[in-house]
Amino acid sequence: MLVNWYPGHMAKAKRMLQENLKLIDVVVEVVDARCPMATRNPDFESLFSGKDRIIILNKADLADQSVTNAWIDFFKAQGILAVEFVSTKSSMKKKAVEIISKAAEEKVARMKAKGVVKVVRAMIVGIPNVGKSTFINCVAGVSRAQVGDKPGVTRGKQWVRITPHLELMDTPGMLWPKLENELYASRLAYIGSVRDDVLNIEQMTLGLIEVLRERCRSKFELRYSISIFNEDTDADVLHAICKSRGFITSQDEFDIERGCRIILDEFRAGKICRLSLDLPSEIANEES
């Protein structure tokens, strides 16, 4: 699947990020728990070297819990703290504050040892649609106690006080996905992180059907009241779903567009099954 992602936006995003980086001590990278590899920016290491950092495996409510646990172990083995998260739950605010505070812990201790009283500043970064803004809203709440412009801070930047030692930039840093890896690009499309209007919806949906019938066949069948046989093609499955849902055009043909839209929307909303697309075992296979 060939995916294009606006190069103009990428250049602007990179410029803004580099400008903001000077102000930041801790980087909080938000990724999608269903695709922690596909939703990571491959330039991350070089962009943020020297900064304390933490990974938020967001949308954990849509991912397979056991795979999320495996990802947490995977990152831990690399010396990176990763935590699962659901930003849409306002009850997670306390956990969010703890996570960011933990990420800043070492820095605060180092500065304290030097007798320096300086507030540590954190920034949320991630590719589009991983839930950066929702995460910030979860931490900051609706009544954002903005600290406001300060000397040495680019005009217009707002900081939200998290603890007496920690402030969070209220606008997230936008990273961009690398789409050269076809597998990751497809998964980004499935979860809705690439604008659908630059994609071939039918081709994308057939790819997703292939994954769903392989990884969660019975829940997939149940959701659409269909039976999938091994000899069925992915297009047969799509037709069966159109038939089951009554998506038939006035010319008595399958309404493919409507069928595709419903499968994509329902998958993205977690209505078919909780599914992790990236698996740590794939990395192990790649490496070996």
Binding site for ligand G4P (CB under 6 A): 58-59, 61-62, 86-88, 126, 128-134, 172
Residue of minimal CB distance from ligand G4P? 131
Smallest gap from residue 28 Cβ to ligand G4P (A): 12
State how far the Cα of 80 lies from the Cα of 215, in Å rounded to an integer: 28
Nearest to 85 by CA among 135, 123, 127: 135
Q: Of 62 and 238, which CB lies nearer to ligand G4P in the complex structure?
A: 62
Q: In a 3-state reduction of DSSP, which class is residue 40?
A: coil
Smallest gap from residue 9 Cβ to ligand G4P (A): 12
The 3-state secondary structure of 49-108 reads CCCEEEEEEECHHHCCHHHHHHHHHHHHHCCCCEEECCCCCHHHHHHHHHHHHHHHHHHH
Smallest gap from residue 24 Cβ to ligand G4P (A): 17
Q: Of 6 and 150, which CB lies nearer to ligand G4P in the complex structure?
A: 6
Smallest gap from residue 1 Cβ to ligand G4P (A): 21
State how far the Cα of 177 lies from the Cα of 256, in Å rounded to an integer: 29
Q: Of 132 and 187, which CB lies nearer to ligand G4P in the complex structure?
A: 132
Nearest to 158 by CA among 167, 166, 137: 167
CB of 58 closer than 8 Å to CB of 32: yes
Smallest gap from residue 61 Cβ to ligand G4P (A): 5
Q: Of 133 and 181, which CB lies nearer to ligand G4P in the complex structure?
A: 133
Q: Of 195 and 219, which CB lies nearer to ligand G4P in the complex structure?
A: 195
